[in-house]
Amino acid sequence: MHGPAAKMEADKAAAKKSKLGVTLFIVYTLLYSGFVMIGLFNPELLGVHVIGKQNLSIVYGFGLIVLAIVMGFIYNAICTRMEDKMNIK
């Protein structure tokens, strides 16, 4: 049968990477939940102009998108360092 092209060893950093991923997920979920709760309980607040002519819903929404991208880069950088440090042969 056909096997993997390269042998992969056990990832000694997997547990820490998982913990970091869950932590970042919880942080993002809480911030996103705040956005949803504002829309659910005080939708008028989302119409308030906060930056120039942009209302809170636009600023908060774009902020969430940018935050997700930044968190992805942070996760990658931290995990790469963990792998380099913990998976030394």
Q: Give the amino acid at 9.
A: E
Q: Containing domain of residue 37, as a range? A: 14-86
Residue at 50 is within a domain: yes
Rounded distance between C-alpha atoms, residue 87 and residue 82, angstroms: 8
- Total domains in the chain come to 1
7-16 burial by CB neighbour count: b if 16+ within 10 A, else e? eeeeeebeeb
Per-residue pLDDT tens over the stretch 32-71: 999 999 999 999 999 999 999 999 999 999 999 999 999 9
At 89, the pLDDT band (50, 70, 90 cuts) reads low
Q: Is 2 helix (H, G, I), strand (E, B) or coil?
A: coil
Residue at 1 is within a domain: no
Give CA 54 to chain center in angstroms.
24
Residue at 2 is within a domain: no
Q: What is the model's pLDDT at position 77?
A: 97
pTM, 2 dp: 0.83
Q: Is the pLDDT of residue 1 over 70?
A: no
Who has greater pLDDT, 88 or 4?
88
Per-residue pLDDT tens over the stretch 9-38: 888 889 999 999 999 999 999 999 999 999
Phi/psi-derived region of residue 12, left when phi > 0, alpha when psi is between -120 and 50, beta in every other case: alpha
Residue at 6 is within a domain: no
